[in-house]
Amino acid sequence: MKILVCIAQAPDTTAKIAFTDNNTKFNEQGVTYIINPYDEWYALVRALELKETGVASEVHLVTVGNAGAEAVMRKALALGGDQAFRINTESHDTFVVASEIAAFAKDKGYDLVLAGKESIDYNNASVGATIAGVLDHNFIGFATSLDVAGTTATVKREIEGGEETDTATLPLVISCQKGMAEARIPNMRGIMAARTKPLNVVEPTAVAALTEIVAYDLPPAKTGVKLFTVDQMDELVEALHSQAKVI
């Protein structure tokens, strides 16, 4: 069984967010990029676990991005991926990203395509489902558990107020979230091996974007915290009523 894991790079959560060109572009100066945690901790690690237990034979990685994305792909290879592929284009449009991945995967014989439930920068939570739609594969989202026996996958997923267990026949696209696997750190052997593993560049297909980013806005600045002592309950209630307007 072959597994394809979708990898997105995202700004480190400690990065200072700023915009340029009249708030139409993200300012990347001084920003460190990481593997999107949902892709790394859950999708990739679960794929590696399936390989380690003999269920899967190969784990391939794919990303859509320019040469700057190769650093995070090397880390993904260090964790245990067999081959990495970078589709040589940049886009923030979900349909473009998903269509490029689907076009790449279409004739490669992947039984499972795994992705994180969303990226931590745009939080669209739609790439996995769009890949499935373009490939005409079944899709299961927000998965917390995955087991495979033969050509059948058993998946647990989070639903409103509880949990659902599904079975589906491969090939299948799954978006993964917390519970799917436990995060791991690359070891020195993996880091050294990643230097010689293939990182292939694939030219993109001609996919027209369906959306464009018009502008970015930062959230309102947080105001200062006002503290009350246990002897100021009347003042606290008045502040909650007249200032915060929550009671």
pLDDT digits (tens, 9 = 90+) for 182-240: 988 888 888 888 888 889 999 999 899 999 999 999 888 877 788 999 999 999 999 99
CA distance 176 to 43: 6
pLDDT digits (tens, 9 = 90+) for 70-116: 999 999 999 999 999 999 999 999 999 999 999 999 999 999 999 99
Strands (DSSP E) along the chain, which ranges? 2-6, 9-11, 19-20, 25-26, 33-35, 58-64, 83-87, 112-116, 138-149, 152-159, 162-169, 172-176, 199-202
Predicted confidence at residue 206, as pLDDT, reads 87
One-letter amino acid of 20: T
Closest alpha carbon to 54 in 3, 128, 98, 123:
3
Percent helix, strand and coil across the chain, each to the nearest 5: 25, 30, 45
CA distance 214 to 161: 36
**Residues in Cβ contact with 77 at an 8 Å cutoff, skipping those fewer than 6 apart:** 61, 84, 190, 193, 194, 197, 199
Task: List domains and CATH numbers for the chain.
Answer: 2-217 (3.40.50.620)
CA distance 205 to 237: 60
Question: What percentage of the chain reaches a pLDDT higher than 70?
Answer: 100
**Sorting pLDDT into bands at 50, 70 and 90, what band is 59?**
very high
Predicted confidence at residue 191, as pLDDT, reads 87
DSSP bridge pairs for 60 = 4, 83
The CA distances from residue 47 to 54, 123, 125, 179, 183, in Å, are 11, 22, 20, 14, 12
CA distance 196 to 185: 19
CA distance 184 to 41: 7
127-135 vs 94-105: helix crossing angle, rounded to 10: 50
Contact 165, 140 (CB under 8 A): no
Q: Which two tokens stand for residue 173?
A: 């696209």
